[in-house]
Structure 1
Amino acid sequence: MSRSNYLIRGDQRCSSKSQPGHSIYRLKAQSQDLINCLPDDCICDIFRSLDKPKDLKSCATVCWRWADLVLSLASELFKTEKSSLVLKGHDLDDTLLVSNVIDISSRNSVRGLHITRSSTGTAAAGGGPDGHLTDKGVCFVIKAFHNLTSVCLLGCQMITDEGIHHISTRCPMLRSLKIQDCSSITVQSLEALMKQAESLRYLTLGHCPQIPSSAIVSFLILMPGLIDVRLQSMDDVLTQSAGSSEVATTAVSPPIAASKISHELRTLFLDNCAAGYLQELLAQIIAHIQLPLLKCLVIRGSSGRSMNHHDLIRLLGPDTREPGPRSIPFLLLLGPDGGDLSVPENIRRTQVGKLCF
């Protein structure tokens, strides 16, 4: 099995092009691949006759059809139980992802998915054109674990809007989503989340250069139930270079409202965002959104020095529940050297400390 598996992957590497969303698995059976001419039930019976779990895992890494069939048998062939799936490594690809997913029998109890793919090191042998983790792999995971409440994707450069679309449509219980260093993600992912992820409450975006600040504000307007938003190293350099007309056709359009929208946001982290990005983001939030429940505001990085104190006051706004100056438990502005930036006198701080990321 392992020899055949290697030959299939080798043939696939030679004939495929490395593109975003490309999968290491074959989508169609080759003409000489007689076993894939059998119906699913027959192939499943063959899989049941295998005694060793590692042989089943090898079968699952041959093609997507076999992966789906082994997955359908996981509850009766595997005994591992987990509440979350955490995978890290520079060689993480679709093959390793599939082999870890099918090993879990308690699929309904898995609530968390955390995938970190570092950019250092070399790709795993047999892991596709460049050993990538692709949208096909994400779709396979979501098919297996449809009760996910938390998803974290770090450094997955080949994950595109298609992968986020699968997450938003097939994870109705999703409450927390973190996407960082995924440069192929665009505003279309935010559109999919707005339409499908009604339970989403926590969103973290880091270094996603194709998502402009205007799309973030529109997302906040159309998702008033968000309570925690964290933006790290955001800068829409790619959208600016693409031209304003292209961005206008793809960006999420906010609804036209005569008055500001009251938002349930409790926590807003703006960490090392570009100065222009930060200024535009805050200006649009001030113009369209009220944050009466905001309890934690953190602005970190050199761009925080460019903040206008009057804008900060307007951002916080009056506390509708208490008269007098606005009081929030945590207001922290950090400069590049870690020192506090000045805060307007009429905004009192009841608690100040440093946060670790």
Structure 2
Amino acid sequence: MDQQHASPQYIYTYSHRQDEHSLCYLEMRSFFGKETDQFILKSDVAVMPSRSPFIKERIEILYEGDTLEEIYAQAEQINMLEETFKVIFVKINDLDSDHKIEYQERLGIEREIGMRIHGEADVKNPQHTFGIVPFGGRWYLGHYFKNEAVWFHNMRKPQNYSIALNTRLARAAANILVPNPVGIQAIDPCCGIGTVLVEALSMDINIVGRDINPHIAQGARANIKHFGLKGEVTLGDIADINEHYDAAIVDMPYNLFSTTTPEEQLSILKHARRIADKVVVITIENIDEMIAEAGFSITDRGEAKKGAKGVFSRQVLVCH
């Protein structure tokens, strides 16, 4: 039976490197409350693909049916008036290898749907794109959006240093911290050069930064300004923060590169617990006992490895 959706539903496709598997799944659970190993999922949660370093595409479902014929019939209801369009067959789907649809057949399906839509097709520079995808034994047709890889542009910061988070991890961490920005006020109280701040601000997350080092804080401000973003970075210790926030992110100082003692690390965590309801902690060490001592419960976790062999890895802990 065919169906037109009254309330928005979405299909997302995913792509990630082998060393990003755990981090991708943590972000997925943060957005959608579930995970899948099929690289495709359906949800009523709206997330623009470019927010995530792992979401490849999104279809906002307009029509669905058990067969392509039902989709073809429904496509005739689409009237583009004076605007141009094209149709894309989404290659990431849950068809098994015996039922995979080859290139020429995919082109045929795209053409068939395009012929049913009222309007002018433009495969090079369309004003609108529709996606068609098989999933869960049904066919779905809807508005198609592709990830624009904003994080890649953000790699080119004027201020940087070797132990800063890479932009893909920073972007995922910002999403894990604030999956839905509406009404949320966040802080990065040990923000360094602002890698997480840049990613969060570029996604319209309401976040402020702070750092105890004046040179580093100035670097964070320069990075934010470089990308045309607006965000506050104050100078000072986390211990001096009196405001309360919905969420905070703490990239723990590393003993390999820092003189920060375990006592100082515990103090940072205790102050994070004091100033925020939810805290995402990034660490290269196992600090589960320290997290508990600070008064947190770890509600979810993931691992961000560097390289396929995972020689260097960071734990990403979601704490409440």
Tell me which interval the TM-score lies in, with the shorter structure as reference length.
Answer: under 0.3
Larger Rg: 1
Normalising to structure 2: TM-score of the pair? 0.27
Normalising to structure 1: TM-score of the pair? 0.25
Write 1 or 2 for the structure with the bigger share of helix: 1
Write 1 or 2 for the structure with the bigger share of strand: 2
